[in-house]
Amino acid sequence: MLKKERAAFILETLHKLYPETPVPLDNKDNYTLLIAVLLSAQCTDERVNKVTPALFQLADNPFDMQHVPIDEIYQIVRPCGLAPQKSSAISTLSKILVDRFNGEVPSDLKGLESLPGVGHKTASVVMSQGFGYPAFPVDTHIHRLAQRWGLTKGKNVVQTERDLKMLFPKDRWNQLHLQIIFYGREFCSARGCDGRVCKICKTCYPNRKKPFIARKP
């Protein structure tokens, strides 16, 4: 298969499997989405969804959150890992949103990435899932699958994001990044498939003899 043929097959397969792509992180607005995505760094969505109800009961908007002591935030978000950094970021970015953005989450990548604890991937998720802006957030899981499926030779998530954006239609980016995540969890996880097990891997590379080792970002 040529790369374009693999891309077309993947697009069709994922759309059949996941015609609906609900946002995995529970949220009620762009602020709670931003906080949830920030907490999801090196943490599962399932765990984040267990933690955020208590956090948002304490404060679910930047005006209230800015007044919550960091230690109280820390005690709630500790199960998500990296708690010192995340609790500090939540407190500080809430103050910044109030002071610089009238309490609103900025609707552009530059504004989002100016916030503490918000990198390009987190900002892209908020742009995509919160504002509906075409974006292709690439985490380590999508990076691994994109390599496994022969869609990129990127050495890092930045290169992989660029390659995927060039390969797939812009109007499919928002849904596709979630479809890849869903498929990876169900059929093509790091331990569940080595590049020779799941349908997409076997179809794209039917003659692959050895386990595929993806380059880590």
Q: Tokens 């991937």 map to which residue?
A: 121
Write the Ramachandran bin of 132: left for phi over 0, alpha for psi from -120 to 50, otherwise beta. Answer: left
Annotated catalytic residue 170: no
49 vs 23, 25, 52, 182, 188, CA distance in Å? 12, 6, 6, 16, 23
Percent of the chain with pLDDT over 70: 100
Active site residue 139: yes
pLDDT digits (tens, 9 = 90+) for 43-72: 999 999 999 999 999 999 999 999 999 999
| CA distance between the termini of the chain | 26
Confidence of residue 217 (pLDDT cuts 50, 70, 90): confident
How confident is residue 200, by pLDDT bands cut at 50, 70 and 90?
Answer: very high
Catalytic residue among 139, 163, 170, 199: 139
Q: Which two tokens stand for residue 148?
A: 């496994």
Centroid of chain to Cα 145:
14
**Does residue 216 have a pLDDT over 90?**
no
The pTM assigned to this predicted structure is 0.94
Domains delineated in the chain: 3-20+136-204 (1.10.1670.10), 30-130 (1.10.340.30)
Active-site pick, 99, 121, 194, 210: 121
Report the alpha-carbon distance of residue 32 to residue 91 in Å, rounded: 13
Residue 146: pLDDT band with limits 50, 70, 90:
very high
For residue 214, the model assigns a pLDDT of 84
